[in-house]
Structure formats: C-alpha cells, structure tokens
Structure 1
Amino acid sequence: MRTRRSVRPVQALAGLLLATALALTGCSGSDSSDGGSGSDSAALSDAKEAAPGGAADSGGGKQASTAPTLPTSHIIRTAELTVQVKDVPKALDAARTTTENAGGYVGKESTSRDEKGAEQTRVTLRVPVDRYEEVLAELEGSGKLIDRTAKAQDVTDQVVDVESRIKSQRASVARIRELMDQATKLSDVVTLEGELSSRQADLEALLARQASLKDRTSLATITLSLTEKPVAKATEDDDPGIVDALAGGWGAFVTMLRWIVVALAAVLPFAAVLALLVLAWLRLLRPRRSRRPVPEHLPVAAEERGGGQH
C-alpha cells in the first residue's frame, strides 16, 4: 500500500512536467511558424518583383529569369544606288514619298540633262535605321538597277569614348566654377575664367561630335541616281570593231584639222604684217630707186672706149 502511494505522486509530477514541456514546445512552434510564413511571404514578394511582369512563372513554379542586357551597337549605314527609269520626275516623286512615309527626309538634290535631252537626277535621302532595308529594297524596285554599293561602319567605340569624355569634361567645368566661387583675388578669378572658357569650348566640341554621331547612326544615308538612259560599262573583253575604228580615225582627222587651223590662226598676224611690209617696199621704195638720174660721165667714157677700139 505504501509503495502505491509513493508512486502516484511521482507519476503525477512527471505528467505535469510533460504537459508543461509540450505547451512550451507548441508556443515556440507557433512563433517559428509565424516567422517562417513571414519570411516565405517576403521571399515570394521579392520573387514576384524580380520576375518579368511582376509574377512568378506559373508553369513550373520557378522564377522567370531576366534576359541579359547586350551592349547597344552604333552603326553608320550608307548606300549608293543607280537606277534606270522611264520617267525621272515620276520616279523622284515616288522616292520622296517613300522616304517621308518611312519617317525620313530628302537632302541634297541636283538635276541635269545631257546633249540628247535625257534627264538625270541625283538625290540624297535620310531614313531611320530601322526602315533602311525596307526603303532600300523599294528604291531598287523602282526601275532597272544599274549599280548598288552599301557600307556599314561600327562607331560604338567612338560613341562610348565621347560620352565618357563629356562626363569628365562636365565634372571639370563644375570644379572650375566651384573654385571661382571660392576665389578672392582678382588674378585668381581672371585665371579661372580663362580656364573655364577653354574647358567649356572643349565640352561644346565634344557635344557637337556626339550630336553628329547620333545623327549619322540614327539616320541612314542613301544616295539615289535616277537616269533615263542605260549606263554603258566598259569591259576588258570588248574588242574594237570597224565602226569604232572609223570613229577613232575620224576623231583623229578632226583633231589634226583643228590643230592646223589653230597653227594658222597663230601665224596669221605675223603673215599679215610681213605682207604689208612687202607691199610697202614694192609700192614706195622700189619706184624711187628706179627714178634716180644716170651720171653724165658714163656715156663719155663709153664713147672714148669705142674710139680707142677703132
């Protein structure tokens, strides 16, 4: 009986300790579950913000990774086209319309006519780079393509260098202005003003170069030549024919006659002066010499010679 009484209090105490331990474990578990749920929700929120569109990938339950950012290329594109058309003004109007519809504009333009009256036009077109290929293909299809030249120049390094130098130059100008605000002597102010003017001039030159690069890389340049007659191309395999020989001979003959006429024209003034001198000598000097009187002693001498002989 004593043994049972001694065991029951011990069992009751052990049960009480076990219940207390379970209660404490439940509280800590609830706290940890609350903290875990908070961290999970924060992580999920970060994942949603990082994913494109602000949501996680619902297909596989994974985050959508962002695409790597590639460096922007800056390329200057130019092309030259020679197209034979039936009507140059009509083809020129179509080229203008195509350029303006693409968001570009028409630059320099020149028109001329040859000896036979055939019209020829050369025009410079500026079109956005993203519409360059489309406009080029449309211009090529406006007639018979005679010649095409296209070039692409990568100036990415130049653009990056100019941007870096502009940033440094702006910081330099800002430092000079700060020194001017702190200067107290007139000599220091004058020196700083000269330095500021020099650096601002360098900055403006860099900005102008940046604007030029931006214009040349954002707008492609197409030089279009429109002609009504075919452009003859000389080939190395073409042998001269009879017509070519006759044409060459006639050209040489005409050239020779031309030089002869030029030579005669150059000699004509001297010949005219010489002719005048000869005419003057014949009309004036020669008659005077023939009219001179004969000396009287000449006949006497002749008579004496005759008498001596007899």
Structure 2
Amino acid sequence: MNRCLSRTLLLASALMAVGLALSACSRGGDAPAVSVQEQMAAPGARARMAADAPMLTSAEAGGGDAVSARHIAVRHVLEVVVPAAQISDAWKAVADACTQLDCEVVSSSVRKELRDQPGGADLEMRVNPKDAPQLLGQLEGAGRVASHSTASEDRTAQVVDVQAHIKNRTEFRDSLRALLQQPGANRKLSDVLEIQQTLSQTQAELDSHATQLKLLMQETTKQLVQVSFRPEVTLTEGRAANPIWTALRDAGQVMAGSVASLITLVAALVPWLLLVVPLLWALRRVWAWRARRRAQRTA
C-alpha cells in the first residue's frame, strides 16, 4: 500500500509540475519556467522521491570537498625495553604525559613479575597528530625503543559513503515529518501508522549511521599508539645463549622431570600391587598344600 500511495502522489506531483510549466510558458518570458525538480522539492514530494529513488552517490552527497578531503587512520605499534624495576614508573610517566596533551588513554594494563612469567605493561592511546611527536619523544625517554612500526589505512571512501547515507536519510526523515504535519490532509489511520513506522525505521538508520561516522572520525582524526613495555634482559639471563649454561640450567629440569615420571609410575603401579601381591601369596599357599598332599600319598 505504501508503494502504491507513493507512486500515486509522485504522479500527481509530476502532473502538477508539468501543468505549472505549461502555464508559465503560455505567459511568455515574463516569468521563469518552473522545473520539475523544483516542484519535487516540496516537503511531501521530497519524501516520495527519496522513498522511490536510489540513494545519492558519494560525490553527489558530499560534494567535491568531501571527496578531496582524505581520512587516514594511522596506527603506531612500539615495544619499549625498560629495566624490570622501572616498568611501572615508565608506564605511569607515559600515561601522565598523555593526559597533558590532546590525548586519551584507551586501555592500560600492568603485569607483575612472577616466577613463571616476566613483568610488563601495555598502553593504548589516541593522540592528536600535532602532539604525536611529543608523545613518541616521551616514549623514547622512558626506555629503549626496541621496535616501532607505523601503519595507515585510507578510510575516505567509508566516511563519504556514510555521510551520503546520512544526508539522504535526513532529507527523507524531514520529508516524512512534513508529510505528517500537512494541514487538511485526509488520510486513513493505516496510512498514518505506516508513515510513522517508516519514520521510526529511518530515524534508527540515522542513529546507526551517526554512530558509525563518529567512530570513523575518531579513528581518522587521532592516531592510535599501542605501547608494550617489557623488561630488559640482564647479563646473567644473557648467558643462557651459551650451550654449557643451557645444559647446566636444564640439568635440574631434566632430573626433576625424571623423578616426576618415576613418581607417576609408582602411583600407577600401587593399585595393581595391592591386587597382585595377595593373589600371588594365595597361589603360593595352594601350591605348598598340594605339594604336601602329594608327598603324603607317595609315603
């Protein structure tokens, strides 16, 4: 019903536009001719045209400025080597430096040093491109930068596409609101409910596209900096590269593994020993009794 109603109203608007154009032509050059596009620009006609016509392209919606503007998402991944005792201090110093700039901490974590794992810390920040060099300089002062990789991704097409959807849906929503508020319109209750339902769906689409655009702009207007702090390898730990030190270090582990295997074997055999030993003792007693009986018969 909605498509039929939309096509009927669209046809009526087109006929009215053609009639106005013909009447303007009959008056001569005194008044400019009214184009069909201008007549379709009326609030109700825009809603019907937006419902039946395809979405605008990115160039039509955003214009030349939107296409020429580049939206690049930049990400820095760094690994900073710090003495184990200074990891927490270096992590806190970089996080504090971020708060002093046009920067925000997205996530952070600190791992304490345990027997089976080394200590460390992770920090993820979003910084304004103009403050990125200062933040990277703070990282170089916090420790030794072992690795630094930079990646960039062009999000221009996604941004322009979302902006085009928002522009089209906004016009369609405004046209639906104007269609509902037209004075003297005689509509059925079902038509009004259908228009309101379409309006609600359009508003939901607008909210979703607005959230998507906000995330894209956040990714492209600020650079993502991911930092991993790891402890510095000491000289004693560096000897592990020598095969002799490796063998001496692994000797205890090998011995402990052998003892553990022996304990496991004993634990596996104990239940069978509890069953087999009494059985062997009983068989021995039976064998001895039969031997005595045989000896008595022989005597």
TM-score between the two structures when normalised by the length of structure 1: 0.59
Q: Could you say which residue in structure 1 is the equivalent of 2:173?
A: 173
Q: Could you say which residue in structure 2 is the equivalent of 1:274?
A: 276
Distance 2:293 2:80 in 1: 92
The match for 2:205 among 188, 202, 217 is 202
1:209 CA displacement: 0.4
The match for 1:80 among 72, 77, 80 is 77
Q: Could you say which residue in structure 1 is the equivalent of 2:89?
A: 90
Q: Could you say which residue in structure 1 is the equivalent of 2:152?
A: 152
Distance 1:256 1:293 in 2: 50
Q: Could you say which residue in structure 1 is the equivalent of 2:193?
A: 190
1:213 CA displacement: 0.8
Distance 2:216 2:209 in 1: 11
Distance 1:184 1:266 in 2: 86
TM-score between the two structures when normalised by the length of structure 2: 0.61
Distance 1:204 1:272 in 2: 74
Q: Could you say which residue in structure 2 is the equivalent of 1:241?
A: 243
Say whether residues 1:220 and 2:223 are aligned partners: yes
Distance 1:81 1:93 in 2: 16
- Fraction of identical pairs, as percent: 23
1:76/1:152 contact within 8 Å kept? yes
Aligned partner letter, 2:275: V
Please tell me whether Structure 1 or Structure 2 has the larger radius of gyration of its CA atoms. 1
- Greater relative CO (CA pairs within 8 A, separation 6+): 2
Residue segments in structure 1 that go unaligned for 5+ positions in a row? 1-68, 233-238, 303-310
Which 10-residue stretch deviates more, 136-145 or 165-174? Answer: 136-145
* 3-state SS of paired residue (2:68): coil
Which 10-residue stretch deviates more, 91-100 or 262-271? Answer: 262-271
Distance 2:156 2:204 in 1: 24
Q: Deviations over 1:57-99 (max 9, x none)?
A: xxxxxxxxxxxx8933211121121112231232123212321
Query: Residues 1-310 of structure 1 correspond to what in structure 2 (within 5 A)?
Result: 71-86=68-83, 87-115=86-114, 119-181=119-181, 182=185, 184-230=187-233, 241-245=243-247, 251=253, 254-255=256-257, 257-278=259-280, 281=282, 286=286
Distance 1:293 1:120, change over 3 A: closer
Aligned residues: 222
1:157 CA displacement: 1.7
Aligned partner letter, 1:79: H
Distance 2:165 2:234 in 1: 48
Which 10-residue stretch deviates more, 170-179 or 213-222? Answer: 170-179
Residue segments in structure 2 that go unaligned for 5+ positions in a row? 1-64, 236-240
| CA RMSD after TM alignment | 3.8
